[in-house]
């Protein structure tokens, strides 16, 4: 079975075609190596702001309504997103509208006008988005966790930026930043779905014929330094405490990532996981609790997140840390290991049923400069994980000097909470 095709043009532009013959939809996705880790402090938030501005008008479609009207008329599912390491623009449409989606997404990516008046208006939108996240502690606590881990460096900054910086950004900032990063060598075009490669490939080349072939500016390497447990408690009157407990791990290229995936599933990968059973079912202290790993090009971490009863925060923190510690002492039983592997396999396959998920699966690997692995290859690597490898990863990450905690809730005595952070 042919999973994907990778083409690299002379100018460095990368193209990924992921056929999905049975799909009724096709997704056009453009990814670029530009995110908050490519910013300096005086332009923090620009990557995300620029993403917004690409939808505000192009040379071919001068107004935001021109772009939105065309996409809406197609019944498209469309959006953009910004992370620490990349920005993406996509549209998912009926397969017979794939050419139109390619025309629109390539246009907004290549030809934004950055009208000064639109930039000024959009500042208000960006600031309200930041306000929304401040009022969403379940999400905001993740931003605080990054700050605990990485402090005052790009990996520790808010992707959305700071309001005082947003207010100062001008058209020149956008043009200068885009010239440094939105170049052919840093761009990946992904099309997934019921595609016709022979007719589609020439159209992609034609649409991107004038993309900049300039040199890509690099990001600053993330510094990993930690000698003792660290915590950050944000006071907020709320009905529920939101917390994240986690540890530094390793980057996305580390071979131990598959053992970490299995470990994460065992701890917080569903209603049968150890953390769910302990914190929700046994203690009745939380509605949501789970875990995940976030691995980047030069750093990574594992974390468990939960929303808990104010009165039970100490009990929950101790319970989570106890479950962390347990994995360092004994090998995971064969039946539990098998169940975790089956769970990961099922989630991977079900998660790739749609064309947009498939596009992101392959595009995400390519934009991070990884060697692309297929779903089948990933399943094989997961199947090969041993109990000893899970235990070894647990011993590596679950150490006191790697522990980190972020909390949002009505607490004024943060020292008491911080004192709980030990295995």
Indicate whether 1 pLDDT > 70: no
Does the predicted TM-score (pTM) go above 0.75? yes
DSSP character string of 322-388: HHHHHHHHSPPPHHHHHHHHHHHHHHHHHHTSSHHHHHHHHHHHHHTTPPP--HHHHHHHHHT--HH
Distance from C-alpha of 98 to C-alpha of 207, rounded to nearest angstrom:
13
- Contact call for residues 421 and 405 (beta carbons, < 8 A): yes
pLDDT digits (tens, 9 = 90+) for 256-278: 999 999 999 999 999 999 999 99
Whether 230-418 and 5-207 are alike in CATH topology: the answer is: yes
153 confidence band (pLDDT: 50, 70, 90)? very high
pLDDT of 218-239, one tens digit each? Answer: 898 999 999 999 999 999 999 9
Query: What is the rounded distance in angstroms from the CA atom of residue 10 to the CA atom of residue 4?
Result: 20
> 300-308 and 241-248 as β-strands: parallel, antiparallel, unpaired?
antiparallel
> What are the structural domain ranges in the chain?
5-207, 230-418
More confident residue, 405 or 1: 405
Q: Is there a contact between 403 and 421 (Cβ–Cβ < 8 Å)?
A: yes
* The domain over range 230-418 is classified in CATH as 3.40.50.2300: no
The pLDDT tens digits of the residues spanning 312-355 come to 999 999 999 999 999 999 999 999 999 999 999 999 999 999 99
Say if residues 245 and 303 touch (Cβ distance below 8 Å): yes
Strands 187-193, 25-32: pairing is antiparallel
CATH architecture of the domain with residue range 5-207: 2-Layer Sandwich (3.30)
């Amino acid at each position: 079975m042919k999973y994907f095709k990778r083409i690299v043009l002379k100018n460095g532009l990368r193209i990924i075609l992921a056929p999905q013959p049975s799909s009724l939809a096709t997704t056009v996705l453009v990814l670029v190596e530009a995110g908050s880790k490519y910013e300096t402090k005086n332009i923090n938030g620009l990557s995300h702001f620029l993403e917004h501005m690409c939808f505000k008008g192009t040379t071919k479609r001068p107004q935001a309504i021109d772009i939105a009207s065309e996409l809406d008329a197609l019944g498209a599912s469309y959006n953009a997103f910004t992370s620490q390491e990349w920005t993406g623009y996509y549209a998912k449409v009926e397969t017979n509208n794939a050419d139109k989606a390619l025309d629109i997404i390539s246009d907004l990516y290549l030809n934004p006008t950055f009208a000064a008046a639109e930039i000024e208006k959009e500042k208000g939108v960006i600031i309200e988005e930041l306000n929304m996240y401040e009022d969403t502690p379940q999400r905001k606590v993740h931003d605080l966790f990054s700050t605990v881990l990485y402090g005052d460096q790009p990996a520790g900054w808010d992707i959305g930026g700071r309001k005082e910086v947003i207010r100062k950004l001008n058209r020149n900032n956008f043009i200068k930043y885009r010239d440094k990063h939105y170049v052919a060598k840093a761009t990946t075009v992904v099309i997934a779905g019921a595609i016709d490669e022979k007719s589609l490939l020439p159209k992609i080349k034609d649409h991107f014929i004038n993309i900049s072939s300039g040199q890509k500016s690099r990001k600053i390497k993330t510094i990993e330094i930690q000698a003792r447990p660290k915590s950050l408690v944000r006071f907020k009157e709320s009905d529920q405490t939101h917390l994240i407990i986690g540890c530094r791990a390793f980057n996305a290229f580390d071979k131990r990532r598959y053992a970490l995936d299995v470990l994460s599933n065992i701890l917080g990968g569903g209603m049968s996981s150890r953390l769910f059973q302990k914190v929700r079912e046994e203690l009745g202290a939380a509605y949501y609790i789970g875990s995940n790993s976030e691995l980047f090009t030069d750093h990574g971490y594992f974390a468990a997140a939960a929303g808990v009863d104010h009165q039970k925060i100490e009990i929950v923190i101790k319970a989570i840390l106890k479950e962390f510690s347990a994995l360092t002492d004994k090998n995971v039983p064969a039946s539990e290991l098998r169940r975790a592997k089956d769970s990961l396999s099922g989630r991977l396959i079900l998660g790739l049923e749609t064309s947009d998920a498939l596009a992101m699966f392959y595009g995400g690997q390519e934009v991070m400069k990884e060697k692309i692995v297929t779903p089948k290859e990933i399943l094989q690597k997961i199947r090969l994980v041993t109990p000893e490898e899970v235990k070894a990863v647990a011993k590596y990450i679950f150490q006191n000097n790697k522990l980190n905690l972020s909390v949002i809730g009505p607490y004024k005595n943060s020292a008491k909470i911080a004192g709980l952070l030990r295995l």
